[in-house]
Each structure stands twice: as C-alpha cells, then as structure tokens.
Structure 1
C-alpha cells in the first residue's frame, strides 16, 4: 500500500486535469480494498468450531463487515472507471463489466452478511442447546450460500476480464498485460465453477480462487497498471479527452507487469500447499483396508485434524465439521502408511549416501507410500539430523527411526563400519560400539539411547550369554533390541530365547540346523524340487518365535537381488523364501523390510512375500503396516486406520487385495496429516 501511495505521488495526481483525476480516483478505489484486507488477514483464520465463533462474535462481525466494505469500494472504483471508459468511446466491454459487477455485488454482500450474522446466530443456538447436531435448516442454507458465493466470485472474475478488455481497446492496457490479466482471470473463473468431484489439485485450486479476498487481486494489479500510466503519454486513441494533461515522467515499476503472473502463481501454489497440508479435512467415499478389516469397508469418511484421525464413519451418516475441507475420493482405497522395517540411509554419508542422494531417495520412498522407516545401522550423527528434519517437515520424507549397533570386536574390521564412523575409531562410538563380556552395558546402552536411537541392533560376533545380558539391560532402560537372526556365536533359537524382539534375514535361520552352507548350493544350479527337500524343517524354532512374539524381518528382496548379481548366493533367496513360508504357516509375525539400499521399495518386498513365500495379500499388507509398527513399538499410534492414531495413510487407485501389485497404484500419501499428491 505504501508503494501504491508512492505511485500516486509520483504521478502528481492533484495537478492532473479533472478527467484524468477521475481515472486515478477510480484506480485508487480499486486498490483501496487491500488496506482493509490487510486488517482482515491479520485476524487469522476463522474459528474451527461453533464455540469459537460465539466466543469471538464481535471479531467475526468485523471480519465480514470489512469484506462488505471492500466490495463497496470495488463497485465505486469500477463505476468511475466505467464512466471514464464510456467517455473514451468504449461501451461494449464496459457495459458487460458493469452488468457482471452489479449482479455480483448483491450476491457477495448477502453471502458475507450470512457469514457475519446469520451463521453466527445459528452457532449461538448450537452452543446454547449443547447439541453437536445442526438444525435441519442449517445444511440447505449453507449450501445455498455456498452457491451464491460461487456465482458472485465467478462474476467478479468476469468483471475483471471485461474491464481489462475495455482498457485494452482504448489503449490503456498493453497487449501483453491484457493477455496475462485476462488469462489469469479466465483461469480463476473456470476453477471457481468446477464441480466438487474433481481431482485433489483442481479442488484445491478451486478452493483458493474462491476465497473472498482472492478476486480482489486482479483489480489490484489493474489499479497499479492504471496509476503507473496515468501520468505517462496517453495512446492516440484517447489523446483527445486528455489534451489538457501534462504527462509526467514514467515512474519506476513497483511491481513489473512481467512478474505479475509469477506472483499470482506463487500465491496460488502457496495457498494450495497450505490446503493440502491443512489441519482439518475429510476424506470421503473411501474403502478402508487394514489389519482390522480383512474385508474392505466401503463408503467411509475419515476425518483428520492436525496429525490425527479423529473420526471414521459411513459417508453421510454424520455432519462434517464446517471448518473441514472435503477431499472426495470415491472409488479409492485407503490403507495404513507402509513401514519399511529394514533400510540403510547413512552407511557412507561422505560417499554414495551423501545428503542430496538420500533426500531424493526419501522423497521417492514417501511418494511410494512408505510413511515410516526403520534404519538398521549407519552414521547416527547423520540419521539424527534426517530424523529431525523429517519430523519437522523440513524435508519430504517418511518418519525415520534408527538403531545403535552393538557387535563383537571382530566385526569392526568390516570397511563399512569405518565409513559410518568417519572422524572417529570404528567400534568406539555410542551408536556403533564393540562389546564383550567386560563391557559396562549400563553405560553402553545409556549412551546408545542418548544418540536418539529407537532401538539397539546386534549385528555379529556376540555370544548367547552376552545377548541375554544386553536384552535385560536394554529392557530395563526401555530400549527395544533387534538382531541378525544368527550372530556367529549365538544360534537363532538362542537369539530368540534371549528376548530379542525382531530378527532379520530369513536365510540366516539356516544356522539353527547347519554350521556351514553346503558347497553344492553355491556352485550348482538346482530346481524348485531340490530346494523344497533341502530346506530344513525349523518348526521348533518357529514355535518358539510364536511363543515369544518374535517378529521375522525376512528381507527377501535383497536376497533376490543378491542372487541375480552373484550366482553363488542364489541359494539364499530360494531357502529364505521357503523358511519364510514355514514361519508364516507356524503363525510367526512377519515384517516387511527391503535392505537393498533403497534400489526398490517396500511394495516389492510385499509382492515377494505373496508370490515367493505364499502369504495372502491381506497378511502381506499387515506385515508392511501393523507388524512394522509392532517392530518399532509404535502399534498404538500407527499401523492401522483407526480413530486416535496418526494420520499415516496411503490412498490407492486399485484394490491391493485383488492384486498385491496394486500397492504401487498410489494416488496420494498422507504422512502425519499432510497430504502429498502422487507425483
């Protein structure tokens, strides 16, 4: 507004002839509503519930009175501009614009009066009666006012189009500016009249352009253009009416016209993002599939407020909150956010796992439907920062939960440990420590927990008694313990018996019965019948796992890829998927972890659980959702679509129970209440 005042002063409007003063006055009136709109914006968003409206009654009445005054100023400005244009010889577009304006204004005033008075009175009635149910007349009246508001907005954009065309015809709006202003107004007009059942991006854009203050943007830009040119040399078409005016030097541009569309699109994009990540919205028309619903539940509405699912009910069976944005998803399927139970994001942060690469991977992970990951050892200095940035929304990423690694001293000859410990000695850091029977485990566990780790990972070279001691101390300090299924000096049954919550890598379960892998498994090619007979029966181990509620993180995907790259490792996938089948049939809980350095994502692991290990699509989906949450001790807040749980959801175009590959038909992802449209 200060800039606009500077433009007026620069044009020395008080010394202009009467005819041009009328033009300047009209332009100033088009600009003036933004003085009031700045007050409107300073009040913040309207309250989210009736009690809030009643408590701030005077503020709400003032809010909508300001909007009515804005409308009156706009009418006055366009009427003066219309009179000036008609004297300049332009009648057609001027009359069209004035007609649209005179039709829009009563509708706009009635709609704003409804919000400021009638709606407030109805909320007073709701609060006074103590009933959450709206009166019978409430919804028809609200729908009528929404219709009137939509018509008024469309007519306001039509007014801007007509007056821009009129100014162009008399030479006061250059072709480029005219095209941009008319194009933006036309686009906004079309968006404002879109039906409700349109894709989410269009619904968001339609919502934004229908906000009462947004149609005032085009007249604002038009007024700046007119004020800028008011003191400049007039075009030949209007020299006659302005003969007595003394042109002033062309002032510098406050807002260059070439940047107006950019500004508009940025505003639209920012507002759209705010709606997508809004704190209060409803998903309607969805079919819910999760561990609690083996039979899909159709025609459901899911209410989300902030980060939480606040209600789930049959479409139309309950009124929606007035403040809730409606996202219509008829024909879509909603499943819980997927959890990858085995990733490695920071093995080599100075090399392949550099920040740019990892951020790109995290973004792709989220858009594939993964809303949480369990990182199974890496540089916790990096992982802590990534987890923090993911939690605050500063990066597009699943939630990140990471482990601190404990292993025997021999393991730290592995070059990967040096990469993840750069700047220090591998095996001496709180998040990557060598342990023996003489280690102060109270201190070691406390320091590991202090790194922000969600759990401990036992990797290799740890004896069974030490495993049990670590589990006891970690349990005392409320830190979960995860481990490789075989630790060289501890067999799988010993690891399970010690109380480890999750064991990783199905092929390592072989070491319950074998001391070494038969050489022929590595050097010869064998068919399915051979592997069926060669795979040992581990029913006793799996009975123990079921009894202890131990989760198996099978990681079939990484072994399939490994076998494709190295023929000597083909046995691992063949045996691993058969052992996973045994575990599944024995009632062992399975989680879905990839462990393939994020080459492919968890939907592929889920597909292998179905097509390789024989899980049903429902149980494989449960592995990637509820069981993943159990692995992280987050089952009370994640893993199912339920009231009170975190709004981590995946919206699918197709039913994953009909074909598990439909898990890749992602339409949108909701992470902690934020809506991400599939790219």
Structure 2
C-alpha cells in the first residue's frame, strides 16, 4: 500500500521547491565582452534583414538572438542598435602599401583610415614594404596599432627590370621555384603576378607551379597570353578589366600574336579589342571564368579617376590635407602622362573606361564573381585609402549592380576568394566579430555605407569620429547623402 502524504512531507516538498527557485534566481548571469542589441542585421548572403541581438566574446560572435534578454546577462560593452544596420566589416580587395623606405611612415598613417571607413580587412596586392607590413599586422593583432587585418601577397613576381621596386625576378623555372619558396616562407597570403616584363612562358609556369602548391594567385596578364590560358593554368583572380576585354574579342588570337611579334603594344591593342568584342565570345569567356571560380577585380573607381585626370581639378580634394606629401608626390607621373597625352589617346582612354563600366554589368549578369577593390595607395593618383572603397561600391551600383550585389563583392566574396570564409565574411556564430554598424540601410542607397556609427574589430569598438580627430579634416569624413 502507498503511504499517505503527511504534513511533514508537504513541508519538505515546499522547502525543496523554494530552495530550487532561490538557487535559480541566484544563478550567475552570462557575461559578454560586447552585446549589440536590437539591431537590423543584414544577411549579406541574400539581403534578408532581421532584428537581432549579437553577443561577442574574445573577438568571436557567440550568440545571435531575436530578443534582447537584458536581465539575463552582463555586458562589458553594450551598444543600442535600435534603428541601425549591421554588416560584416567591409573588405577592400585591392590596395597597395608601397613606396620604399621614405614612405614607410606615410603608409602606416593610412591604416586608421580604413577602420574609420568601416574597412576591417584589406588585401595588399604587392609592393616593397613586406617586412613593415608583417610588423604592422602584429601590432594590429595586439591592438597597439589601429588598422585592418592585412592579407598580403608580399613582393610581386615579374621579369627582369620590372616596373615596380621590390619585385621578385623570374627568368627561369628555377627562379620561379625560388620565388614561390620565398613567398611561402613569409608566408604570403596569395601570389601576385605583374605583367611589365614577365615572359609568356614564365607567366604560365608561375600559375602552374603555384596551383600545384595549392597557393592562391592573382594578377595582371601579359598580352602575349590568351585569357583562357591563364584561367586554365589556375589564376585565382584577374586584376582589372583589360584582360577580360581581351578574352571577349573574336580576334584575341591574332592580337596576341601581333603582341608577340611586337607589331602591337598593350595600349595600341585596346581600340581593336573593343571593335572586335563579341557577345557570343564574351559569354563563353564568362562561363569559363564562372566554371573555374575565377574572380575579377574591376577597379572602376580608379578607372574613373585616371580617365579624367586631364579634365577634373583635384587640387581642392579634402583628402590631400591628410595624405602624406611623399605619397602625393608619387601622383605626378600619372598626372603628367594624362595631361601630355594626345587628344586621340585621351578620347580612347575615356571610351575604354565607359566600355569597362558596361563590361562589369555583363560579368555580374553572367554570375562571374567580382571583388571590390580600390587600388588605393602611392602612385595611384587621387585614389585615397579608405574612402575609395565606398567610391568603388558606388561605381558598381552606377554600372547597374544592385546595392546587395555590390556589397557582396566586398567581405562576402573577398573571404571566399582567400578561403577565409569559414572564419569571416558573414555574421554567424563562431565567426570573427569584424562588423560595421551603419545609421542607414545601404540596401536602399549604397551611399549609406559611408554613414558609419561604429566599427567593431574583434573585441575593439571604434567610433570613426574619434579616429578621424587626429587627421584634423572634418570635411574628409562628413557623410553627405
């Protein structure tokens, strides 16, 4: 028989329940380094916007919730995201840190500009400051220097008497082995090939050996090479659109042979490439790029700048107040060439630029993966670090891309190209907390990428206005719709 419950039993049960409730009430609250509450999270994969609270510990996103349970946690830093919009921190997928010993300090002073513009990651596409860049990377990681994560190619690969200082000369298969060994020891994050002096054979051999080693590659392409040869040899990304245009010409083989025979030069070939552009050939080329997962970096903004150097007066650009005088001096070469070019050359350059704008839209329509890159840095006249990435995104939208597609060319595609997408590029649990908080929705207007409230890099929270005080140029950072 079952024993009946006595008064003493009831007291014991009530006591147990009371103690259980008391224990739960005294349970220690969860602790987080940063909590961003009630923010409009833009899912960069598809543009879906949902209200979320984002929890961050040790530079990593650890929880995403719909409701902000403020009574259930303690946050060292809490950001009210009401009415604001959250994106992965922007990536500038083509910059240059270069210029030799005399410009080391001026290059270093550029780094906070990227963070002030919401850019938490950059891809340095080759230069002559590799040892300094590696030092800056450590300082940024240790939070002793404000700046973005830097993925670098280290020195470029080219032939003898290369255009750019610091390039590794490859004149034989043995040179290529030594050069790639050197890059792996750095270690570089990708191989960058330039086209000023490298031979057709060595160019293709670099790609072949880099691919066999599992190294990511990108570069220009000598016009002695056909585009399909570069793609088939494993090039990971093609910098600039000249080489895409070449692969869309019905006369690519003939023009390539004329270049080999020295009957044509790079620039002399452009008008012929445009006139022989074929949509059917272009579609085959686009499909080849897509099938091989080859990325394309249009660099439209610098194209717009350089094509109109003879017409646009940049002397009152606000950024000239904060860019180092040594870097500004490096602008002279391109400016002089633009001003002294023949009328025919000036017209051809502008026509080519207009064609590239249309070509970018065609690439996007064909679902070729694009990367947003500014090409900012020394020698690239009036293409300023930080703000030029926003100009590039705007140029892409002006070319016909939707704001979402333009945004995807930054962190989302950039992380995939460098095979870092398991740790960054989207806002997901387990990924690094490199984030940008905007005051307005960039899906409605791409210019809103400039309307930055806060930038989060790992466990650090940056107020852009605080960073920019050191530059003493309020007009450089004032958002204008």
CA shift, 1:400, in A, is: 0.8
1:628 and 2:407 matched: no
CA shift, 1:502, in A, is: 1.0
1:555 counterpart residue number? 299
1:10-21 correspondence to structure 2 within 5 Å: none
Q: 1:545 aligns with which of 289, 298, 304?
A: 289
> CA 1:328–1:474 in structure 2 vs 1: closer, same or farther (change >3 Å)?
same
1:435-454 correspondence to structure 2 within 5 Å: 435-454=170-189
CA distance in 2, matches of 1:444, 1:519: 32
CA distance in 1, matches of 2:81, 2:158: 52
1:581 counterpart residue number? 361
2:100 counterpart residue number? 349
CA distance in 2, matches of 1:367, 1:390: 14
2:133 counterpart residue number? 383
Q: 1:662 aligns with which of 432, 445, 448?
A: 448
Q: How many residue pairs get matched?
A: 383
Aligned CA-pair RMSD: 2.9
SS of the residue corresponding to residue 110 of structure 2 reads helix
1:228 counterpart residue number? none
CA distance in 2, matches of 1:646, 1:316: 21
Contact 1:449–1:455 (8 Å) recurs in 2: no
> CA 1:657–1:310 in structure 2 vs 1: closer, same or farther (change >3 Å)?
same
Contact 2:238–2:294 (8 Å) recurs in 1: yes
CA distance in 1, matches of 2:223, 2:352: 17
1:305 and 2:57 matched: yes
Larger radius of gyration: 1
SS of the residue corresponding to residue 625 of structure 1 reads helix
> CA 1:316–1:306 in structure 2 vs 1: closer, same or farther (change >3 Å)?
same
> CA 1:535–1:440 in structure 2 vs 1: closer, same or farther (change >3 Å)?
closer
Q: Greater helix percent: which structure?
A: 1
Contact 1:406–1:435 (8 Å) recurs in 2: no
> CA 1:653–1:308 in structure 2 vs 1: closer, same or farther (change >3 Å)?
same
> CA 1:321–1:575 in structure 2 vs 1: closer, same or farther (change >3 Å)?
same
Bigger relative contact order, structure 1 or 2, given CA contacts below 8 A and separation 6+? 2
CA shift, 1:518, in A, is: 8.0
Deviation digits for residues 120-143 of structure 1 (CA, Å, limit 9, x no counterpart): xxxx979x98xxxx54x989xx9x
1:289-328 correspondence to structure 2 within 5 Å: 289-297=42-50, 299-316=51-68, 320-328=72-80
Q: 1:507 aligns with which of 242, 263, 268?
A: 242
Normalised to the residue count of structure 2, the TM-score between the two structures is 0.73
1:674 and 2:456 matched: no
CA distance in 2, matches of 1:317, 1:536: 59
Structure 2 unaligned spans of 5+: 1-18, 256-263, 310-337, 339-345, 378-382, 466-481
Deviation digits for residues 499-552 of structure 1 (CA, Å, limit 9, x no counterpart): 111111013322222536786988xxxxxxxx8x87543211110000011111
CA shift, 1:436, in A, is: 2.8
> CA 1:506–1:381 in structure 2 vs 1: closer, same or farther (change >3 Å)?
same
CA shift, 1:406, in A, is: 4.6
2:207 counterpart residue number? 471
CA distance in 2, matches of 1:583, 1:396: 36
1:356-395 correspondence to structure 2 within 5 Å: 357-379=106-128, 380-395=130-145
CA distance in 1, matches of 2:32, 2:456: 12
1:481 counterpart residue number? 217
CA shift, 1:282, in A, is: 0.6
1:498 counterpart residue number? 233
CA distance in 1, matches of 2:143, 2:239: 30
Contact 2:173–2:202 (8 Å) recurs in 1: no
